[in-house]
Chain A
């Protein structure tokens, strides 16, 4: 069995743009799920609205493609009503942190046994490239034509502060690490949050000087700072450059969880 068996073959090729990082993250998620040995009839995908959230439509399991931002609330209902189901949530940065912010922090607080894969492309891709709560300061988007004036969220810190059991961040360049991180998230009871920074060549890349897809992926690779290295830098008292982001397993703990399979 490989992760390819999980796709609805009659629905491929999908609607994602050429070089979209979402395709990569879906591959990694399905590879991790495949390794877990889960069966299709006991797995449910839930998603909100956006490019990331179109993913369940391509996967051959029961899936719920819900309203914008509310994926976690729907997933809570599914998981609490039937804890035997394995529930995985696909969501995006706008879906999770803007309109879905409240549901995000409460799902973390409840530590409900879900795995959330957030495809953070730092923009609202599907609707044409508007700024999102994770758009970096100064970046261009269709609603921030003079550069984004607001400070972005750090989704992983938010999840950690709100109480998630497992929080990890990787990019669409680090496919093997991402797959492993998702695997750990699936295994960990309680709320697992995996943030995957992805490239959006059409909406973000085009406006922010990434003319080729490979340039953006290169940027993601160069600006990722491994967690262990960051910890060493802090110990030595070195300054962490502003535009680097930390990748790796950021939080792992054993807080009491809700909705775990008995």
Chain B
């Protein structure tokens, strides 16, 4: 799974950046068409839900999604063969 921020809803409050336990976000630099600096995914490979949801069959962590006041965070299936950086855990 990969994390996607809905640009129609995000208002750039950066609470997700603040609360993520794995610190996968960083504050955005570029303004989008609405004038909002949507947070960038700095280290998406550390997101527990992205990596392990399919393995465990249920949602993990999800603190950013619960915190986001605008319901802008979702997880979507990746395209087949989509390249992703992965950190290997032992």
Task: List A residues at the B interface (Cβ < 8 Å).
Answer: 2, 4, 7, 12-14, 16-24, 27-28, 31, 172-173, 175-176, 179, 201, 213-214, 217-218
- Among B14, B17, B71, B74, max chain A CB count under 10 A is at B71
- Set of chain A residues within 8 Å of B59, measured between Cβ atoms: 2
- Set of chain B residues within 8 Å of A176, measured between Cβ atoms: 63, 66
Given contacts A13-B8, A214-B15, contact A31 B70 (CB under 8 A): no
Q: Chain B residue with minimal CB distance to A27?
A: B66
Chain B 1-44 interface residues, beta-carbon cutoff 8 Å to A: 8-9, 11-15, 17-19
Residues B71 and A214 in contact, CB atoms below 8 Å apart: no
Out of B8, B17, B19, B71, name the residue touching A175 (CB < 8 Å).
B19
- Among B13, B59, B65, B68, max chain A CB count under 10 A is at B13
**Interface extent on B, as a size class?**
20 to 34
Residues A18 and B8 in contact, CB atoms below 8 Å apart: no
Summarize B's interface: helix, strand, loop or mixed. Answer: loop
Out of A16, A28, A217, name the residue touching B66 (CB < 8 Å).
A28
In the bound complex, CA of A28 to CA of B69 (Å): 10
Expressed in whole angstroms, the minimum distance between the Cβ of A49 and any Cβ of chain B is 20
Residues B63 and A7 in contact, CB atoms below 8 Å apart: no
In the bound complex, CA of A178 to CA of B65 (Å): 14
Residues A7 and B71 in contact, CB atoms below 8 Å apart: yes
In order of increasing CB-CB distance, the 6 nearest A-B pairs are A23-B69, A19-B13, A18-B11, A175-B66, A13-B9, A214-B18
Residues B66 and A20 in contact, CB atoms below 8 Å apart: no
Given contacts A24-B69, A175-B63, contact A19 B18 (CB under 8 A): no
Expressed in whole angstroms, the minimum distance between the Cβ of B57 and any Cβ of chain A is 14
Task: List B residues at the A interface (Cβ < 8 Å).
Answer: 8-9, 11-15, 17-19, 59, 63, 65-71, 74
- Set of chain B residues within 8 Å of A214, measured between Cβ atoms: 13-15, 17-18
Given contacts A13-B8, A175-B19, contact A27 B14 (CB under 8 A): no
21 sample A-B contacts, Cβ–Cβ < 8 Å, listed by A number = A2-B59, A4-B71, A13-B8, A13-B11, A16-B69, A18-B69, A18-B70, A19-B14, A21-B69, A23-B68, A23-B69, A24-B67, A27-B68, A28-B66, A31-B66, A175-B67, A176-B66, A214-B14, A214-B17, A214-B18, A218-B18
Residues B12 and A18 in contact, CB atoms below 8 Å apart: yes
Residues A217 and B15 in contact, CB atoms below 8 Å apart: yes
Given contacts A2-B59, A24-B66, A175-B63, contact A19 B71 (CB under 8 A): no
Out of B11, B18, B74, name the residue touching A217 (CB < 8 Å).
B18
